[in-house]
Structure 1
Amino acid sequence: MQRLMIVDDSSVIRKVAKRILSGLDFLVSEADTGHQALMHCQAQLPHILIVDATMPDALEIIGAVRQLPGGAAVRIYYCLVEADLKSMMQGKRAGADDFLIKPFDRRILTSVFGHLSKAVA
């Protein structure tokens, strides 16, 4: 089962995303701070990481995960409120692989992550 972590300071976003992604057979964990996310990642890296761009330390979280042993293999999604080129480039430079635009729903998350839930890392 693929491990996926959602890093977002909104409990509502984490709850909705967790419910949808758990239904897609991901083992979902949550973090509401960068420190908490890094503690989880040091204990066990997720296969997929979703980081909310509005968190004050979002770019640092991405960079720190990339520096962990095995961190280069984590698929990181930088979650933005709008497709802003400057923010997207900052996320890419920090090490994000892809982007996710909020608000998202079941259809969007299924489209983006549905095929990844069955993949073996």
Structure 2
Amino acid sequence: MNLEVLAVDDSRTMRDMIRLALEPAGFRVHTADDGVHGTEVLANIAPDVIITDINMPRMDGFGFIDAVRDQTGHRTTPILVLTTEAAPELKMRARAAGATGWIVKPFDPSKLVKALQMVAG
């Protein structure tokens, strides 16, 4: 399974952890450090699934999800929110914006791999 993933997170450590969790499972990982950078990277790739944080500078996760969903080619691309936030109203807001799922940090690498395979498969 050679899936392409775009991971958007302002934390370099978190981007590295996502890469370390996914690359051994056969994913090609592209990263961006905030929503603005994420939309720039997205212009040049066609990921099978997108992972985004919520709290980021310049453009937060909600803005990024909106920007992704505004693009015809990415209206159905699965988007998983990976965040420290667990508030039900934020989950509802993310789902309303077009997020596919929600994973709370810190994440279990094997569960992240399974979640991505489920939504992208």
State the TM-score bracket (shorter-chain normalisation).
0.7 to 0.9
Q: How many residues align?
A: 118
- In structure 2, C-alpha distance between the alignment counterparts of 1:87 and 1:115, rounded to whole Å: 23
Higher relative CO (Cα under 8 Å, sequence separation at least 6) belongs to 1
- In structure 1, C-alpha distance between the alignment counterparts of 2:86 and 2:67, rounded to whole Å: 24
Alignment of 1:9-88 (within 5 A): 9-56=10-57, 57-88=60-91
Structure 2: stretches of 5+ with no match in the other structure: none
Normalising by structure 2, report the TM-score. 0.87
Q: Judging changes above 3 Å, is the alpha-carbon distance between structure 1 residues 93 and 8 closer, same or farther for their aligned structure 2 residues?
A: same
Structure 1: stretches of 5+ with no match in the other structure: none
- Counterpart check, 1:103 vs 2:106: yes
Amino acid at match of 1:72: R
Deviations 1:44-69 (Å, cap 9, x if unpaired)?
23111111012252111001111112
Q: CA deviation at 1:43?
A: 1.7
- In structure 1, C-alpha distance between the alignment counterparts of 2:11 and 2:27, rounded to whole Å: 20
Does the aligned pair in 2 maintain the 1:50–1:78 contact within 8 Å?
Answer: yes
